[in-house]
Structure 1
């Protein structure tokens, strides 16, 4: 019996050593291939710089449509055992690091550090991007407009709490383009600091949206605690560090950044709670695919205040069988009881059928502005 167990251990050790040698060899191959890819990225940068010097144009290194194409191919070709999204995230980081060799992408996001918007920025651009927090959505727009950063990341809607009006209103005063989107699954956690007396929590901090997303859970578990809305979940986490009788609702990034302990996880009322973020920039984005449904377009339409105005907007989409993904109404600044419509739909402005729809809308509308065509969120 003892002899058999000893033999089994020896055979297992030999098998493990063999597998470790295989992993070491594969790691060597992976390292070589990543280095080759990085050198290729450097050559791409040199070619772009020479071409732009000759033409007098400014070189553009980050191409949203190209990254969407690469990620889609990776996920389509993936045969496991890693799932498609996990594999996509790995390649996102490789592309982010390689792009940083060409030129680091500078990104402004709605801060402070530790917010879900920062998490969305990293999800879209990778950890090699240079991300700068801004204190308000309109500041993100101003930084991109001024050229201080190349892109901005702002929240636009939550699946349970609806649209972020401040973002929509900012587009009405801006000429920036939407270059992409990120959909982030939002998990809210109740967290405390090492100084918190858990049996004496009388105040819970969070952003108003997060408090609303956890309303039922709070009613059931902390009905007597005061709910205090602050500018961001990161600010909520920061406040808790200096108080003994408070807790915060925030995400994983805030917990890690401010050294807080999660005492209740995933407390959001809707298990599929998610927030959509927009990537804003100065360039128009070409089609990422010839396949219908891989790109989206966002527009803002101003109509005369008359019966049937909404029907006049929606009818061309119905006739040409274009799928609307969002329609929002906001008061117009041009007059009382006038409204503008923010519309998202599947398709790219370069598509012939979309071009026809936009032409018909232009004939009917007081004003039509294309906010951007961009790849649908891949990850």
Structure 2
């Protein structure tokens, strides 16, 4: 049995991403049985990987909101490996349990979803905003609150809000909104020849050396390595001292990437979080 940790309850976007990954597993291994273990927070989900579950599926980046900081911070100091990435289209709806929008007093919204639906939320007047840990929790809390409450929920969860009086089917800021998810494991995955890869790594600037970012970029540029993203995160040792979370195209075993990493590792502490098959973006520009 393959136990997979993800953010619950059922029907969160994390749950959808996990089920998408399970379909890919079972397409290769039809006899593989799986079980999804739901956790209340992203931190609890991360901590369960390698303890209670062999794998975990976590959101790492949204098209409009950027990186999910709580997950990013966990990756900065982990022994887990990224073994896969998934891209999931993300669209949100508003459901209200009042007869008119003017009667709305309380809105429940997941903390990451808030930024992705900020245009709609900012247009509400006199409404108290309640942040939640998951989108389905938002719906449950709004239903409990009653006729003056509303929630931002995934479009695919509208069937669970049949008692709603008001529905706005799409309140997402961007029509082509999507989130990238990472699949993490204690064990790195073997390379498959002929596949396009991406590598995630962390450069730890513990010594607070000057010119770190310039040296990193120069090392990759010299070897013609394509950097797809760089995100700095504070080391929490002193103001102005940062670690760097980096995504690059290619596998860590590729000769030009290996050469660049060797140069960087001679100066800084580098952790390769994983090399994994690059997800295909099928979202387009709808």
Q: Structure 1-normalised TM-score?
A: 0.66
User: Counting helix residues as a fraction of each chain, which structure ranks higher?
Assistant: 1
Structure 1 gaps, min length 5 = 1-103
Give the aligned partner of residue 190 of structure 1.
94
Distance 2:142 2:231 in 1: 36
Q: Which has the higher contact order (CA 8 A, sep 6+)?
A: 2
Alignment coverage as a number of residue pairs: 269
- Equivalent residue for 2:183, pick from 266, 275, 279: 279
Distance 2:177 2:87 in 1: 10
Q: Are 1:316 and 2:219 counterparts?
A: yes
CA displacement 1:342-363 (0-9 Å, x = unmatched): 0000101121221111111111
CA displacement 1:224-271 (0-9 Å, x = unmatched): 433222222111100122211111111034333454557111211112
Q: Secondary structure at the match of 1:145?
A: coil
Task: Supply the RMSD in Å over aligned alpha carbons.
Answer: 2.2
- Which stretch of the first structure deviates more once superposed, 275-284 or 260-269? 260-269
Distance 1:268 1:160 in 2: 10
Q: Secondary structure at the match of 1:114?
A: coil
Give the aligned partner of residue 218 of structure 1.
121
Q: Are 1:207 and 2:110 counterparts?
A: yes
Give the aligned partner of residue 8 of structure 1.
none
**Offset, 1:310:** 0.7
Give the aligned partner of residue 120 of structure 1.
17
- Equivalent residue for 2:79, pick from 151, 175, 182: 175
- For the pair shown, the structure with the greater C-alpha radius of gyration is 1
Distance 1:248 1:129 in 2: 31
**Residues 225 and 134 (structure 1), Cα distance of their counterparts in 2 relative to 1, 3 Å cut:** same
- Which stretch of the first structure deviates more once superposed, 242-251 or 253-262? 253-262
Give the aligned partner of residue 141 of structure 2.
239
Structure 2 gaps, min length 5 = 27-32
**Residues 263 and 257 (structure 1), Cα distance of their counterparts in 2 relative to 1, 3 Å cut:** closer
Q: Structure 2-normalised TM-score?
A: 0.86
- Kept after mapping to 2: 8 A contact 1:119/1:253: no
User: Counting strand residues as a fraction of each chain, which structure ranks higher?
Assistant: 2
**Residues 282 and 260 (structure 1), Cα distance of their counterparts in 2 relative to 1, 3 Å cut:** farther
**Offset, 1:369:** 0.6
Q: Secondary structure at the match of 2:21?
A: helix
